[in-house]
Amino acid sequence: MFIALCNVDLGGALCVSMARFWMLCLIKRYMNAQNKRVIMLFYKRKMHYFLCLLLLGFSAGVVAGNPDDPWEGLNRKVFSFNDALDRHMLKPVAKGYKKITPRVVDDGLSNMYSNLGDVITLVNDLLQLNVPRAGITTSRILINSTVGLFGFFDVASKLKLVQEKEDFGQTLQFWGVPKGPYLMIPLYGPSTVTDVAGLISDSYLDPSIAVEHIRTRNSMVAVDFLDRRADLLKAEELITGDKYVFIRDAYLQRRASLLNNGLVEDDFGNEDFEDF
């Protein structure tokens, strides 16, 4: 269920966390992390994988229903795989993490990783020519990184510097690139064709990637992943009806709201989905 749910969040932060986890595992196995040329080749191969997935989607045929989801037949199969993996492996680990982690530590870790995510938001604010918003994001990073003890405490929000998530998928659509069909990705979750390209681009901006010590970097990614998954446990109770349809519609509606700066009504905006 987790992998299906993960991209309902503000800007897909949870999905990025999990995708990074799998990518870093592969990087550690097949390459020297300091070899940037090899890393570039790795990401190109990942893009080739996604393109192959799209071709498989075309071969699966178009299913009548939501026009944003022409590959529903293939997407449902991937969703079933992701959901089974979560139920048997990821969710039990997240429950254990939630049980042994004090609330203050859990909240502090969430704040720290959210503060790192603001770096990606800042770059995309600038790419979208939103200078006022970039100023607010910069202030958030500076305040939380200093007064907030490296982001452990979200002091900026208490000063009414509201956090807004921006990613390269939003930036591409800001400049007129269509969002493309809905796509359920193995070991990742809900996305669209354009958001996949944005995810890969934003990976280069992730501060944790700059950490040269492999074990430290992987530990950061793993803790981020567990923390975010644990925060989703209660939110799962809100799911009703067809799980696949619920996740798909929630994701597409949330993305539409983010792309229009909240002007599109979001049925999930008043719920406790801040950590999604």
Structural domain containing residue 245: 2-100+166-204+222-259
- pLDDT at position 262 is 58
Please, are residues 192 and 179 in contact by the beta-carbon 8 Å criterion? Answer: yes
- pLDDT at position 143 is 96
In a domain, 271, yes or no: no
Across 126-244, the runs of DSSP E, i.e. the strands, are 182-185, 189-192
Please, are residues 179 and 195 in contact by the beta-carbon 8 Å criterion? Answer: yes
pLDDT tens digits, one per residue of 177-224 = 998 999 999 988 899 999 998 888 888 888 877 777 888 888 888 888
What phi and psi, each to the nearest 5 degrees, are found at residue 192? -135, 170
pLDDT tens digits, one per residue of 37-84 = 444 444 444 444 554 554 444 444 444 578 889 999 999 999 999 999
In a domain, 135, yes or no: no
Q: Report the distance separating Cα 154 and Cα 185, nearest Å.
A: 32
In a domain, 130, yes or no: no
pLDDT tens digits, one per residue of 100-144 = 989 899 899 889 999 999 999 999 999 999 999 999 999 999 999
- pLDDT at position 265 is 52
> Residue 190 has which token pair?
């809900």
In a domain, 138, yes or no: no
In a domain, 10, yes or no: yes
SS3 212: coil
Q: What's the burial of 128, exposed, middle or buried (CB within 10 Å: 0-12/13-18/19+)?
A: middle
Q: Report the distance separating Cα 234 and Cα 53, nearest Å.
A: 32
In a domain, 86, yes or no: yes
In a domain, 153, yes or no: no
Provide the number of structural domains found in the chain: 1
What's the pTM value of the predicted model, to 2 decimals? 0.69
Question: pLDDT higher for 230 or 18?
Answer: 230
The answer on pLDDT for 253 being more than 50 is yes
In a domain, 16, yes or no: yes
- pLDDT at position 38 is 42
